[in-house]
Amino acid sequence: MPIPHPLPPLNREFITHFGEMGSRWGVNRTVGQIYALLYISSEPVNADEIAEALDFSRSNVSMGLKELQAWRLVRLRHLPSDRREYFEAPEDVWEIFRVLAEERRRREVEPTLSMLRSALLQDAGCEAEEHAQARMREMHDLIDRLMTWFDDVQKLAPETAMQLMGMGSTVTKVLGIKDRLIGRSPPTSIPAKKPHKDQ
């Protein structure tokens, strides 16, 4: 089914929202809108169709598609008897999330971990540096543990990962039981003041 022109209001609303969110995710508005259009399209779309549907210049569409390919968020397709290049977003939402998370990790998290490891290997020259290293070690350990957890989740089948995410409060209850079994009591709230006798 070709892209309707003009776009229906619901499609336009979704695409506009992704454009607005793009800058918060580290991509520009154009890239966000192109991705949203590809995501809701029922079949692969070529650059000319994208430019017409979104009223973008052909050069802006080409640059946007290159950036989305660099993020591994779109796939290139060729159709029989058609020399043009077509693009599509992965159909599996879990796959999209996994790729996006991996790319953000490679671009943002790993450089931070590398800097922290380097800083922690240095000899502290004064008390202020010792304190800074202690704080950096806390940050490093937390990020490292989160990345290890993420790697474990990545190995799960999509269905299992979705079940895990849906367990929410059940996991919290299990951890609470574990704490009680090993004698670690959860933090207690401050008891309310007893009312005065005259009250």
Q: Render pLDDT for 148-161 as a digit per residue (tens, 0 to 9).
A: 887 887 777 767 76
Per-residue pLDDT of the chain (199 residues; tens, 9 = 90+): 668 778 999 999 999 998 988 777 777 899 999 999 999 998 999 999 999 999 999 999 999 999 999 888 899 999 888 889 999 998 877 777 778 778 778 888 899 999 999 999 999 989 999 999 999 999 999 999 988 887 887 777 767 766 766 776 665 666 666 566 666 555 544 444 455 555 4
* Residue 86 burial class via C-beta count within 10 angstroms: exposed 0-12, middle 13-18, buried 19 and up: middle
User: Cα separation of 115 and 101, whole Å?
Assistant: 20
Cβ(108)–Cβ(147) under 8 Å?
no
Neighbour count for residue 12 (Cβ, 10 Å): 16
Computed on alpha carbons and rounded to an integer, the radius of gyration of the chain in Å comes to 25
Question: Global pTM?
Answer: 0.63
C-alpha 183: how far from its chain's center?
37
CA distances in angstroms from 18 to 65, 73, 80, 132, 174, listed in the order given: 15, 14, 31, 39, 37
CA distances in angstroms from 89 to 20, 55, 84, 99, 119, listed in the order given: 19, 20, 17, 12, 40
